[in-house]
């Protein structure tokens, strides 16, 4: 019996030691920086607030940046890395060229504000700053606030080729969307909730032109909405022109996105399919009818998204410059 107890103690000690050397995503904790940088959240929030007062684009740009980061190699701030002569980074992949610069600038400004505090300098990861900034822009646009789990390290690689096939496309159907999200441990309900981020932001006309100029026009689109889109996006429109994803409340984080889908006003095929496909319609109706139901599901999905591919001290680092590996 004594020998058995000794073996159990030795086994437990070895497990704890290995976990210390190779921590898992379970390392994430809301209190990770409590003793390292105790005012972190208020510092980031103030920087994000200042930035958003300069331009509203800060809000959708930061939210989209977080999503694009987490879906490629996990939430490790690899999307922030600048390309070099011998490496094309994630941000320069075709699917990321439309990421607005204000999202990147938000993280840069928040990082500078954090590093201006001697106790915090170079001790907070860019990945965690992006996660906090994302929560803050949602709250600033009347969306739900929530607790952010912290303790991510920044990734050690950023390759454009890693983006291939990882991000949803405007033309995706429900099966394709579910497959992309399932690859990141997210359910169909999570996918529909996260799609609600399209209540903010904008899109260039080229992303949906085929829906409004096909023969016949996409029958799932509201006819009056088609006329509005054709007016805002004529056939040879300036490629820099962009329009709101949510034609009703474009600057407010709310559940109107789902009410728009019920009316045939989903801008992308991948938006409208959530209502036209019977497998997802009930969830859309549920979110459309209750702000609280949508908010709670969105927060749950964002929390799960924030755990995707988390890096540790073993396979990550804390960058002194978010754009340089």
Largest CA distance in the chain: 83
Using alpha carbons, list the distances in angstroms from residue 184 to 28, 96, 99, 178, 249.
Answer: 17, 19, 21, 10, 30
- Residue 316: inside a domain: no
For residue 235, the model assigns a pLDDT of: 93
Predicted confidence (pLDDT) per residue in 50-92, tens digit: 999 999 999 999 999 999 999 999 999 999 999 999 999 999 9
115 marked among binding-site residues: no
| Nearest in space to 255 (alpha carbons), one of 263, 246, 264 | 246
Pick from 26-30, 39-43, 132-136, 244-248: least confident? 26-30
Residues 109 and 222 in one domain: no
Residues 300 and 179 in one domain: yes
Task: Please give the mean pLDDT across all residues of the chain.
Answer: 93
Does position 269 have pLDDT exceeding 50, yes or no?
A: yes
Among 163, 183, 199, which residue terminates a domain?
163
- Three-state DSSP class for 290? coil
78 marked among binding-site residues: yes
Mean pLDDT of 162-167: 98
Does position 112 have pLDDT exceeding 60, yes or no?
A: yes
pLDDT band at 22 (very low <50, low <70, confident <90, very high): very low
249 marked among binding-site residues: yes
Does position 317 have pLDDT exceeding 90, yes or no?
A: yes
90 marked among binding-site residues: yes
CATH of the domain at 149: 1.10.520.10
168 marked among binding-site residues: yes
For residue 289, what are its two tokens?
């009818």
Does position 2 have pLDDT exceeding 90, yes or no?
A: no
Which residues participate in catalysis according to the annotation?
68
Name the helix (H) or strand (E) containing 284: helix 278-289
- Residue 185: inside a domain: yes
Mean pLDDT of 141-148: 98
Does position 23 have pLDDT exceeding 80, yes or no?
A: no
- Residue 250: inside a domain: yes
Mean pLDDT of 9-22: 43
For residue 282, the model assigns a pLDDT of: 98
For residue 6, the model assigns a pLDDT of: 44
CB contact set of 120 (below 8 Å; sequence gap of 6+):
33, 36, 37, 39, 40, 43, 114
Residues 102 and 197 in one domain: no
Residues 190 and 146 in one domain: no
For residue 73, the model assigns a pLDDT of: 96
Residues 254 and 210 in one domain: yes
Residues 180 and 95 in one domain: no
- Residue 168: inside a domain: no
- Residue 312: inside a domain: no
- Residue 242: inside a domain: yes
Residues 154 and 184 in one domain: no
What share of the chain in percent tops pLDDT 90? 91
Does position 264 have pLDDT exceeding 70, yes or no?
A: yes
State the sign of the Cα–Cα–Cα–Cα dihedral 27, 129, 244, 240.
Answer: negative
Residues 143 and 44 in one domain: yes
- Residue 26: inside a domain: no
Look up the domain containing 96 and give its range: 39-163
- Three-state DSSP class for 162? helix
For residue 27, the model assigns a pLDDT of: 86
- Three-state DSSP class for 305? helix
For residue 230, the model assigns a pLDDT of: 97
Residues 158 and 188 in one domain: no
Residues 180 and 286 in one domain: yes
Count of domains observed in the chain: 2
254 marked among binding-site residues: yes
Pick from 11-25, 126-140, 207-221, 237-251: least confident? 11-25
CATH of the domain at 207: 1.10.420.10
Label residue 256 exposed, middle or buried (CB < 10 Å: 0-12, 13-18, 19+). buried
Residues 186 and 291 in one domain: yes
Q: How many residues does the chain have?
A: 325
pLDDT band at 20 (very low <50, low <70, confident <90, very high): very low
């Amino acid at each position: 019996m004594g020998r058995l107890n000794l073996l159990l103690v030795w086994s437990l000690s070895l497990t704890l030691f290995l976990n210390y050397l190779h921590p898992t995503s379970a390392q994430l904790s809301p209190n990770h920086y409590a003793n390292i940088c105790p005012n972190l959240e208020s510092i980031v929030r103030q920087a994000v607030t200042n930035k958003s007062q300069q331009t509203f684009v800060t809000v959708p740009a930061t939210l989209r940046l977080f999503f694009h980061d987490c879906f490629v190699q996990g939430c490790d701030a690899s999307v922030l890395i600048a390309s070099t002569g011998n490496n094309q980074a994630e941000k320069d992949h075709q699917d990321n060229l439309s990421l607005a610069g204000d999202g990147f600038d938000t993280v840069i400004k928040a990082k500078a504000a954090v590093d201006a505090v001697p106790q915090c300098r170079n001790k907070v990861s860019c990945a965690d700053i992006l996660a906090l900034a994302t929560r803050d822009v949602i709250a600033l646009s009347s969306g739900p606030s929530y607790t952010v789990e912290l303790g991510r390290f920044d990734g050690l690689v950023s390759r454009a080729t890693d983006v291939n096939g990882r991000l949803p496309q405007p033309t995706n159907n429900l099966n394709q969307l579910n497959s992309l999200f399932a690859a990141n441990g997210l359910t169909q309900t999570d996918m529909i909730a996260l799609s609600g981020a399209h209540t903010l932001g904008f899109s260039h006309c080229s992303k949906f032109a085929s829906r409004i100029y096909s023969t016949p026009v996409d029958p799932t689109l509201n006819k009056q909405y088609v006329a509005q889109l054709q007016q805002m996006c004529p056939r040879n429109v300036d490629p820099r022109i962009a329009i709101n994803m949510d034609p009703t409340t474009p600057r407010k984080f709310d559940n109107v996105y789902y009410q728009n889908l019920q009316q045939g006003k989903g801008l992308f095929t991948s938006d409208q399919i959530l209502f036209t496909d019977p497998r997802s319609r009930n969830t859309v109706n549920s979110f459309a009818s209750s702000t609280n139901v949508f908010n709670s599901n969105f927060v749950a999905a964002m929390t799960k998204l924030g755990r995707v591919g988390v890096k540790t001290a073993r396979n990550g680092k804390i960058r002194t410059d978010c754009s340089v590996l």
